[in-house]
Amino acid sequence: MDAEAVSEAKATLKGHWALAMEDNLQRAGWLAAWSSALPAGETVPDYQASIDAVHPEDLSWVVNTYCTPERTFVGQNLPAVTVASGAGGAGAAAVLALATWGARRLWRWNRRRREEEKEIE
């Protein structure tokens, strides 16, 4: 691993984190997530110190240990709803709504016509 690239990546990570923590709501959410993950009495880890502790040798070790053919897998994403099926569902709902509207309008027209016929008689 190139030491300069690792240094740049670390600076980028710390910069993104610092920008995210400028907002009180984001900071509160981050702290709340840690409060539910940590055992009682344990402090929140120092993110920037953890990033500073990473060395290029550590990254090489992680890559050589975990990015091996034995540890690879293939994932398949089968979404429950796709754009096509969502559009089809929306189209079916629109057709059902129009059919309901048309049937109601026809029913009202027939009812009005029958009432007018009764008034004439």
pLDDT at 9 (0 to 100): 94
Q: Given a cut of 90, is residue 105 above it in pLDDT?
A: yes
pLDDT at 75: 87
- Angle between helical axes of 3-20 and 56-66 (0-180°, round to 10): 90
Mean pLDDT calculated for residue range 22-48: 89
What's the domain range around 23? Answer: 3-71
Domain assignment present for 89: no
For the cut 80, the answer to whether the pLDDT of residue 121 exceeds it is no
Number of domains present in the structure of the chain: 1
Determine, yes or no, domain membership for 18: yes
52-57 contacts at long range (C-beta below 8 A, 24 or more positions apart): 52/10, 54/6, 54/10, 55/6, 56/1, 56/2, 56/3, 56/6, 57/1
Give the C-alpha separation, 27 to 6, whole Å: 26
- pLDDT of 120 > 90? The answer is no
pTM: 0.53
Between the alpha carbon of residue 43 and those of residues 13, 31, 50, 76, the distances in Å are: 21, 10, 14, 38
pLDDT at 11: 95
Kindly give the residue spans of alpha helices, DSSP state H, lying in 67-82: none
Domain annotation covers residue 46: yes
